[in-house]
Amino acid sequence: MEYKVEAHRIMSISLGKIYNSRVQRGGIKLHKNLLVSLVLRSARQVYLSDYYGGVCLNAQHIEAKEWELMDSEQEKLIPAVEDCSPDVGGSEATLATEEPTEAPDHSAQHHMVEVSVEGDQPCPETGDKGSEYCSPESVEGQDVSTTKDVTNEVACVTPRSSSSSHQSVKKQEEERPAECEPSATTSEITSDLHQSAKAHVCSTRKRSAEKSPANDSPLKRTKATSSNSTVPNSNNEEVEEMDTSNVSNLITIFGSSFSGLLSKDGAKPETEAGESDSGSGQICCDQMLKNLNPWSTAIVAF
């Protein structure tokens, strides 16, 4: 994805800046490093969360376009419904088997998207290929305005209470009834708000459906721990595909200089790294990404 490349690029640039600041004359400048670490954090969240949040562009504009795309695709294909949440019961599982046919076509376009609970995260929006996003948990304090006919719909939104997200949700509500009619599916899930929050209605490939439970657990863990400090496993594989050599190099440089800091958070990275079967470079990358915020401010404390 373009945005991932962009976010990755910004991350490498930011890391480079932090590194260079250590050798600059006059010592480390706290203000500049703080700003760089904020950019790094934003870029990292975009990079890791597998959606193009409204961080970079006007969210509403994008969402409007996405909905148009999605509409046209909906009309062509019968949306397949597969519940991504491992928490939701058997009814959704049967749902999935009922309409498997169109799943493969949709799946390519749909991604699991993490809905971040972090305060400054913008409302998540649909991806650039008409993908929908699913919230793995019912996030607190949110207006979950999913409608009854969630099942055959692509996106189930649990946005933050912000104006843009409200609008996007309302749009989905508008779209949904129209699209629901042709495909009669169970509406068992839908009426229960809590359940629907958990029920990601997304069409996914079977492979990615298998992947999604794995997605959920790291995502959930993400929420449980500090939002800065975990990396979903699914993204490790994608990270491998991209060229992270630059970033890894920088990170190993950092890692060697701040080994004390890494070991401070050693418990967490080790458990996470254990699950991922990526190479040491990746582990280092993950560790760095997790430890980035405390580490960068710790430079200055130094």
Partner 1 sequence: MAGVGGGNDFQWCFSQVKGAIDEDVAEADIISTVEFNYSGDLLATGDKGGRVVIFQREQESKNRPLSRGEYNVYSTFQSHEPEFDYLKSLEIEEKINKIRWLPQQNAAHFLLSTNDKTIKLWKISERDKRAEGYNLKDEDGRLRDPFRITSLRVPVLMPMDLMVEASPRRIFANAHTYHINSISINSDHETYLSADDLRINLWHLEITDRSFNIVDIKPANMEELTEVITAAECHPHQCNVFVYSSSKGTIRLCDMRAAALCDRHSKFFEEPEDPSSRSFFSEIISSISDVKFSHSGRYMMTRDYLSVKVWDLNMENRPVETYQVHEYLRSKLCSLYENDCIFDKFECCWNGSDSAIMTGSYNNFFRMFDRNTRRDITLEASRENSKPRAMLKPRKVCTGGKRKKDEISVDSLDFNKKILHTAWHPKENVIAVAATNNLYIFQDKIN
In the complex with partner 1, which residue's Cβ is closer, 36 or 78? 36
Count of CA atoms in the C-beta half-sphere (13 A) of 140: 5
User: CB 36 → partner 1: shortest distance, Å?
Assistant: 8
| Residues whose CB falls within 8 Å of the CB of residue 160, separated by 6 or more in sequence, listed in order | 121, 122, 123, 139, 142
Q: Tokens 């459906």 identify what position?
A: 209
In the complex with partner 1, which residue's Cβ is closer, 30 or 178? 30
Q: Which residues bind partner 1 (CB under 8 A)?
A: 6, 10, 13, 17, 25-27, 29-32, 34-35, 38-39, 42-43, 46, 54-60, 122, 162-164, 293-294, 297-298, 300-301
User: CB 59 → partner 1: shortest distance, Å?
Assistant: 8
In the complex with partner 1, which residue's Cβ is closer, 30 or 184? 30
* C-beta of residue 268 within 8 angstroms of C-beta of residue 239: no
3-class state of residue 201 by DSSP: strand
DSSP conformation class of 24: S
In the complex with partner 1, which residue's Cβ is closer, 94 or 259? 259
User: CB 32 → partner 1: shortest distance, Å?
Assistant: 5
Count CB neighbours of 205 within 10 A: 18
User: CB 253 → partner 1: shortest distance, Å?
Assistant: 18
SS (H, E, C) 225-240: CCCCCCCCHHHHHHHH
* C-beta of residue 155 within 8 angstroms of C-beta of residue 172: yes
| CA proximity to 126, closest of 80, 185, 71 | 71
Q: What is the dihedral of CA 91, 110, 164, 66, to 10 degrees?
A: -130
User: CB 166 → partner 1: shortest distance, Å?
Assistant: 12
In the complex with partner 1, which residue's Cβ is closer, 165 or 185? 165
User: CB 4 → partner 1: shortest distance, Å?
Assistant: 13
In the complex with partner 1, which residue's Cβ is closer, 160 or 200? 160
3-class state of residue 115 by DSSP: coil
3-class state of residue 216 by DSSP: helix
In the complex with partner 1, which residue's Cβ is closer, 91 or 297? 297
User: CB 95 → partner 1: shortest distance, Å?
Assistant: 36
Residue type, 104: P
Q: How far is Cα 208 from Cα 1, in angstroms, rounded to an integer?
A: 17
